[in-house]
């Protein structure tokens, strides 16, 4: 889809836009010398006697290979049959030449479901269209190449270079390290380590550390180790960080290794001071109690585990059961020349004493899919995946990832793998702490996605966060990661037969893969009971939840190996849900749901639940999910609708729960509860005659409040935000060199998370619009927020929005840069493939915005401005934003002096531009009146336009402007114009006709929901219908769940029968009429004075009688008295006591 290039270290202004002259050859022979001759990597803590720690940084570039395409077929065919299909499709076309490229690997002798075809066409896409139309062809996609670049980086230098941007995702900064100490960062705003601050205690501790590990790499290169190319050859140790940097202009990684070097931690707010990691090396197997299973004779025997990485030496002393090594690259070697594959295999199955793996007796199947030049192709992975299916591997570790969940051949093949009972474990990504940064394939429902924590059970700062973004804009993301485990400073095998430490989710992934291998070997006697779903169910059901951490950071919690084995030992096939309950009041785990209560008239709250089906690879939901409101607990105030997978395959599906508040509760405040019942059916397995059925209950709890006033309700426009994938949408801050793509979804719960939390803390209620502007009732909202939009607008949207503003709706727009010349400058050109790729649009789609704003005489320019300024005694930073091109004279305009960043990029000249109009505030007018009466002017809504959104976006945030947003919302909701605006008002912006235009030959139509390309012309698509969901017919129950936290007491999966993954504690169950009416329907709403606040629940009609409480108290006192009396010394009994004892012993005389 996109091409990549390797850029040399250049000036910051040209960093992302200059083609590296070194990379001039073909994809086979044109790599620079440092890639052709990769060093043997032994990261050192003190290279060449220096004092700075170093680690190896790995960067990735991805590119499309020119004229090479992957033709996927609908089945597996022999090579001759596949070639006949291709020939039949291309014979009637004007293709100049085509060739099926030979694939010399172990899978070439077997039937395959794809071929790599090289095509040269006279007419663009003629041959490709012919292939796509062939009945045996499933899909045609471009062949992709991935290149990794290694270089040494001083840790302190990297600290300084990232000092201003550490809160951003290090997009593609994949690194490895052999450092022995790490510093916890307990304050996210503090970006300097103790080492960078000159902490001398750390150096002293390092010397002691080496004494604990006689076989450990201690920061010195081994004898005979080739240090060529490592940036320090023993003579010249002065090579700078800048000399070592390798920049790529495309997405920094596609399917990339996810190993980090320095470990920086995301805190949970429970600590306020720095603490050093313990210096004594930890055996990861001991920490997770693998020795408990080893003592039972469970060591991984009988399980085939595949490692897809950089290979492994056959003679490595740590491995005793290497069953097979295969090479899928174009190099004639099976050995590991980089060390990453050796480390990953060691965590899984090493028998080395100082760095034990989890399953030393497992059969290792090594798949070498990266060359020593760090190059790989999609087709190599597809062939290797097919071979893994043929070899019937049980577990597959994939410590790679990328943001492209639309890479169809790769995603499809992962589905096929798991459908063949291969348990795939994959790293979730190293792009934390930003939300919405999950990597594929770990974000797929059928894959076990693993996040990282440190040894103090804190989420690692580098670990990517959820939610998934597949479902946007109409839906909502799923919970990922699935589980977390240790991924920082974990010990594993080195190429030299010693031990080393690495950090990253690439490390956490083999920890889980090794644990899964060990668990599977312990239940081999149970036959086919273990599959990708049941293993995932066991891991999630047994995971230990981390306190104070939400589900999009930890998933179901920390891996608990022993408890997972206990679950698997008694497991029965069943379906389960993730999450297993919906409690919209539970903070922090249920963030962001718990941050905003429900109310009538709001956009539906969507909870996307994953269905795991341990009964079979396929299944379905019988009939429909059923909503059971608990009438005594006001469940009838909730209306529930569902969308769900028609077929559960492979092993999983989705259930989207749409929650709204009934009109009857528009003035009611309280907690509503109930549960959703689902019945899952799967075909019978071998030897069975009846389908497998599992009944699952999903408890639901939500807090509702009276509908807030209009001025407090803010509507966020999600529909007009576009991002990668599938298109090349460039970053919003052109100075951010490490983040070339806009790929974080632009959602209030991903990269605008802090802004959302600020609005909630300020008392605003924020809702998300995933449909066109024609699909919301503007009378309910005070302000519509449009931030960083890339999409076009339907004419119907423009017309409706104009009328909405006339009736009082206000608009706040945060735009971004747009300049055709700059867009051409940031195009991606790949020297390997000679392909040129242009951005779809700029940071925002300014021509579309000008079309939207034309009704009020407002337009934006194609200027690109950047710089610091002061507004109202507050320091602000304008990060490559746009400016106002025209604004009505009666409006208020703020002007500031900024730098012309477009000129800096295009002409390499810095120019300061005074009085740049960056902010405009406009009070509109409306003319309303009844027919036949005189028209009279009334005040309409207000329109606010600011030219830069980076001050709200966590992706590029340097100085936030939340205070500015507060002031703008005060203006839009009350009409009060703050002094900071009136005192800084500048000259008006006169009208102009010189406005930005669309870039010629833009391919926006390929990714747009609004425009399409027909007969060589761009035209509007039909306006989509507004989504209408019919609430499910409730089946009320006279039930009360007495647990305040509905997850308390939920059953694990290890039940002796097929049961639901969760269980509600019912009391006095009495089915009620299906129309929802009952004698409880008229129970008055609980007032704020008497009622429900602070997370407690009041139960109408369920008060416990006072005598029952008294009985319990008396019983407790009697037990306490009895217990104390047992340990008292015997004393002389008084007369009354003697008489009492005589009576109970029957010695009293009869009367």
Distance CA 147, CA 370 (A): 9
Q: Are 582 and 614 in contact (CB under 8 A)?
A: no
For residue 592, whether the previous peptide bond is cis, meaning omega lies within 30 degrees of 0, is: yes
The helix/strand/coil state of 484 is strand
DSSP letter for each residue of 963-1031: HHHHHHHHHHHH----HHHHTTB-------S----PPTT--GGGT-SSEEEETTEEEEPPPPPPP--PP
User: Where would I find the H helices in 225-372?
Assistant: 241-244, 284-287, 290-294, 340-349
The span from the CA of 377 to the CA of 369, in Å, is 8
Please give the Cα distance from 542 to 890 (Å, whole number): 64
Distance, in Å, from the CA atom of 615 to the CA atom of 422, rounded to the nearest integer, reads 15
CA distance 638 to 597: 12
Alpha carbon separation from 872 to 899, 967, 980 (Å, rounded): 20, 11, 5
Three-state SS for 151?
strand
| Of 53, 151, 241, 340, catalytic | 340
Q: Which of 506, 542, 578, 652 is catalytic?
A: 506
The answer to whether 971 touches 978, Cβ cutoff 8 Å, is yes
595 in Cβ contact with 587 (< 8 Å) = yes
Closest CA to 715 of 675, 677, 764, 671: 764
Measured between alpha carbons, how far is 363 from 324 in angstroms, rounded to an integer?
8
> Rounded CA gap, 493 and 341, in Å?
9
Q: Is 272 a catalytic residue?
A: no
Query: How many whole angstroms separate alpha carbon 552 and alpha carbon 557?
Result: 10
Of 646, 516, 500, residue with least CA distance to 568: 516
DSSP assignment of 755-783 equals HHHHHHHTT-EEEEE-S-GGGS-GGG-SE
3-state secondary structure of 489: coil
Instruction: Catalytic residue, from 309, 383, 739, 746: name it.
Output: 309
Beta bridge partners of residue 679, listed in sequence order: 695
SS3 754: helix
- Residue 392 has a CB neighbour count (10 Å cut-off) of 10
Task: Give CA torsion, residues 72, 75, 77, 82, to 10 deg.
Answer: -40
Question: Cα angle vertex 16, ends 13, 19, to 5°?
Answer: 110
Active site residue 340: yes
Q: By CB neighbour count within 10 A (0-12 exposed, 13-18 middle, 19+ buried), where does 1151 fall?
A: exposed
Backbone angles phi, psi at 81, to 5 degrees: -65, -40
Query: Among 725, 66, 22, 83, which Cα is nearest to 407's?
Result: 725
Active site positions, annotated: 309, 340, 506
């Amino acid at each position: 889809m996109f091409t990549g290039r390797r850029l040399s270290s250049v000036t910051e202004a040209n960093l992302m836009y200059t083609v590296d002259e070194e990379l001039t050859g073909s994809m086979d022979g044109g790599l620079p010398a440092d890639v052709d001759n990769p060093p043997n990597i032994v990261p050192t803590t003190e290279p060449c006697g220096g004092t700075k720690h170093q680690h190896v940084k790995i960067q990735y570039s991805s590119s499309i290979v020119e004229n090479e395409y992957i033709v996927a077929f609908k089945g597996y065919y022999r090579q001759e049959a596949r070639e006949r299909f291709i020939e039949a499709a291309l014979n009637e076309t004007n293709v100049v030449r085509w060739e099926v490229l030979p694939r010399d690997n172990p899978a070439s002798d077997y039937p395959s479901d794809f071929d790599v075809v090289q095509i040269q066409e006279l007419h663009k896409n003629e041959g490709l269209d012919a292939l796509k139309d062939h009945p045996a062809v499933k899909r045609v996609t471009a062949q992709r190449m991935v290149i990794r670049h290694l270089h040494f980086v001083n840790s302190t230098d990297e600290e300084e270079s990232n000092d201003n941007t550490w809160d951003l995702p290090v997009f593609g900064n994949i690194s490895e390290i052999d450092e022995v100490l790490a510093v916890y960062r307990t304050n996210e705003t503090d970006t300097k380590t103790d080492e960078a601050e000159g902490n001398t205690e750390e150096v002293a501790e390092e010397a002691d550390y080496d004494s604990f590990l006689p076989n450990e790499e201690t920061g010195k290169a081994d004898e005979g180790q080739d240090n060529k190319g490592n940036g320090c050859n023993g003579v010249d140790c002065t090579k700078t960080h800048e000399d070592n940097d390798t920049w790529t202009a495309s997405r920094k990684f596609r399917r990339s290794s996810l190993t980090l070097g320095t470990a920086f931690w995301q805190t949970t707010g429970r600590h306020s001071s720095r603490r050093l990691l313990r210096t004594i090396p930890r055996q990861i197997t001991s920490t997770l109690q693998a020795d408990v299973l080893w003592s039972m004779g469970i060591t991984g025997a009988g399980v085939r585990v595949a490692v897809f990485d950089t290979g492994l030496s056959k003679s490595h002393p740590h491995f005793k059961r290497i069953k097979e090594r295969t090479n899928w690259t174009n190099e004639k070697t099976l050995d590991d020349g980089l060390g990453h594959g050796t480390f990953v295999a060691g965590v899984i199955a090493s028998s080395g004493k100082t760095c034990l793996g989890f399953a030393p007796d497992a059969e290792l199947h090594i798949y070498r899919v990266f060359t020593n030049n760090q190059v790989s192709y999609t087709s190599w992975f597809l062939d290797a995946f097919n071979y893994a299916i043929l070899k019937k591997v049980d577990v597959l570790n994939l410590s790679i990832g990328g943001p492209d969940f639309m890479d169809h051949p790769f995603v499809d093949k992962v589905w096929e793998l798991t459908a063949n009972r291969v348990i795939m474990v994959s790293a979730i990504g190293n792009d934390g702490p930003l939300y919405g940064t999950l990597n594929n394939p770990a974000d797929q429902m059928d894959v076990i996605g693993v996040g990282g924590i440190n040894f103090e059970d804190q989420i690692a700062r580098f670990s990517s966060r959820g939610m998934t973004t597949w479902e946007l804009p109409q839906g909502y993301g799923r919970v990922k990661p699935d589980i977390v485990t240790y991924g920082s400073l974990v010990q594993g095998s080195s190429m030299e037969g010693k031990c080393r430490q690495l950090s990253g989710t690439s490390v956490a992934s083999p920890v889980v893969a090794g644990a899964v291998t060990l668990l599977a070997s312990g239940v081999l006697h149970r036959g086919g009971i273990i599959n990708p779903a049941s293993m995932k169910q066991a891991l999630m059901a047994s995971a230990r939840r981390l306190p104070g951490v939400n589900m999009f950071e930890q998933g179901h919690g920390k891996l608990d190996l022993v408890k997972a084995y206990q679950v698997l030992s008694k497991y029965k096939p069943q379906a389960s849900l993730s999450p297993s309950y919906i409690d919209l009041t539970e903070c922090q785990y249920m963030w962001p749901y718990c941050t905003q209560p429900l109310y009538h008239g709001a956009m539906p709250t969507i909870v996307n639940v994953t269905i795991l089906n341990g009964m079979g690879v396929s299944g379905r939901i019988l009939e429909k999910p059923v909503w059971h409101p608990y009438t005594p607990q006001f469940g009838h105030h909730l209306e529930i609708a569902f969308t769900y997978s028609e077929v559960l395959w492979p092993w999983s599906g989705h259930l989207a729960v749409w929650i709204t508040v009934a009109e009857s509760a528009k003035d009611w405040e309280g907690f509503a509860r109930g549960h959703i019942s689902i019945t899952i059916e799967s075909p019978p397995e071998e030897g069975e005659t009846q389908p497998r059925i599992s009944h699952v209950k999903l408890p639901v709890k939500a807090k509702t409040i009276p509908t807030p006033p209009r001025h407090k309700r803010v509507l966020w426009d999600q529909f007009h935000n576009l991002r990668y994938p599938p298109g090349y949408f460039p970053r919003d801050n052109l100075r951010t060199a490490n983040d070339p793509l806009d790929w974080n979804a632009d959602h209030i719960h991903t990269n605008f998370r802090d802004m959302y939390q600020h609005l909630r803390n300020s008392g605003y209620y924020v809702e998300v619009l995933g449909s066109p502007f024609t699909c919301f009732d503007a009378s309910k909202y005070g302000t519509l927020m449009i931030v960083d939009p890339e999409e076009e607008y339907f004419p119907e949207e423009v017309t409706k929005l104009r009328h909405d503003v006339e009736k009082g709706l206000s608009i706040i727009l945060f735009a971004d840069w747009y300049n055709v010349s700059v867009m051409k400058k940031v195009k991606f050109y790949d020297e390997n493939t000679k392909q040129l790729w242009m951005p779809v649009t700029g940071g925002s789609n300014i021509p579309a915005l000008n079309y939207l704003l034309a009704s009020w005489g407002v337009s934006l320019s194609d200027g690109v401005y950047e710089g610091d300024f002061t507004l109202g005694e507050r320091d602000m930073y304008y990060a490559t934003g746009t400016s106002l091109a025209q604004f009505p004279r009666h409006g208020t305009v703020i002007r500031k002096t900024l730098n012309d960043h477009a000129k800096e990029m295009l002409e390499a000249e810095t120019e300061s531009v005074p009085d740049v109009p960056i902010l405009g505030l406009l009070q509109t007018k409306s003319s309303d009146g009844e027919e036949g009466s005189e028209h009279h002017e009334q005040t309409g809504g207000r329109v606010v336009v600011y030219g830069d959104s980076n001050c709200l976006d966590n992706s590029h945030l340097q100085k936030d402007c939340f205070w500015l947003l507060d002031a703008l919302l005060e203006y839009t909701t009350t009409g009060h114009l703050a002094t900071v605006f009136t005192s800084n008002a500048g000259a008006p912006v006169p009208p102009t006709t010189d406005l930005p235009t669309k870039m010629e030959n833009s391919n926006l139509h390929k990714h747009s929901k609004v425009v399409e390309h027909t007969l060589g012309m761009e035209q509007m698509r039909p306006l989509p219908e507004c989504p209408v969901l019919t609430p499910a017919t409730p089946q009320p129950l006279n039930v009360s769940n007495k647990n305040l936290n509905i997850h308390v007491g939920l059953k694990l999966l290890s039940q002796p029968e097929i049961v639901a993954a969760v269980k509600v504690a019912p009391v006095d169950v009495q089915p009620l009429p299906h129309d929802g009416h009952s004698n409880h329907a008229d129970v008055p709403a609980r007032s704020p004075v008497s009622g429900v606040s602070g997370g407690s629940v009041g139960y109408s009609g369920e008060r416990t009688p006072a005598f029952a409480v008294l009985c319990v108290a008396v019983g407790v006192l009697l037990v306490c008295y009895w217990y104390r009396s047992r340990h008292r010394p015997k004393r002389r009994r008084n007369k009354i006591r003697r008489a009492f004892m005589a009576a109970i012993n029957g010695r009293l005389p009869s009367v």
